[in-house]
Amino acid sequence: MPRQITPFQQTATPDNSRNVQQETTKPTHKTQAAIPPAAPSTTQAASPKPASQPEAKPPAITSLDKVAYCALRQRGKGYCWGGNSPMKGFDCSGLTQYSFRQGASIDIPRTAAAQYQAAIKVPKEEAGRGDLVFFRTRGNRVSHVGIYLGEDRFVHAPRTGKPITTTKLEGYWKRKLVGFGRIPGACQPLLPKSVV
């Protein structure tokens, strides 16, 4: 039976002899590639990545972000029934009213129930930072309000004896939840779109 000759064993033509040289040099090349590159090469290879990051535009900062920031700055202050200023203290709707006035230059009604009536209702999936979150803590009427921060967290003035705080939307608060609301005209960009 005739012996089979693989292409790399044939040496009749110059082209095949080049193949033999390439085949014999490949193991040497692989050995060299196994040596890790020097540290400067690694740094140079990684440098193009940060250059592509500035292309992504940051999200526009809205007045609702400022509303949330104003409310968060009041954390730790005491609850005061009827209160609506940092000097006096806040009740729940006093805190939201103050935050919208300071953060968005918008006057909203004074009570939680009236704020609920004034707000455009939004589903939880669409609720965002600075939207209002409403609860029924007594009876069938909306009686408590906070400012939603996203990721199931909100800031509010809970009750007498409890300071303004951030709370997770779970347990008691999840059971008492009525829904989310957005104040018309409050979600305005603070910077021109061309700048952002």
Nearest by Cα to 143 from 113, 119, 103, 184: 113
pLDDT tens per residue across span 136-189: 999 899 999 999 999 999 999 999 999 999 999 999 999 999 999 999 877 666
Q: Which domain holds residue 79?
A: 63-182
Is residue 92 part of the annotated active site? The answer reads: yes
Q: What are 152-159's contacts with CB under 8 Å, separation 24+?
A: 155/68, 155/71, 155/72, 155/74, 155/75, 155/95, 156/92, 156/95, 157/79, 157/89, 157/90, 157/91, 157/92, 157/94, 157/95, 158/79, 158/92, 159/79
In a domain, 79, yes or no: yes
pLDDT tens per residue across span 39-78: 554 444 444 555 555 556 666 788 899 999 999 999 999 9
Q: Residue 131 is part of a domain; what is its CATH number?
A: 3.90.1720.10
In a domain, 133, yes or no: yes
In a domain, 18, yes or no: no
In a domain, 86, yes or no: yes
Task: Select which of 70, 80, 92, 187 is catalytic.
Answer: 92
In a domain, 38, yes or no: no
In a domain, 9, yes or no: no
- This model's pTM is above 0.95: no
Is residue 156 part of the annotated active site? The answer reads: yes
Q: How many domains does the chain have?
A: 1
Task: Select which of 29, 70, 80, 156 is catalytic.
Answer: 156
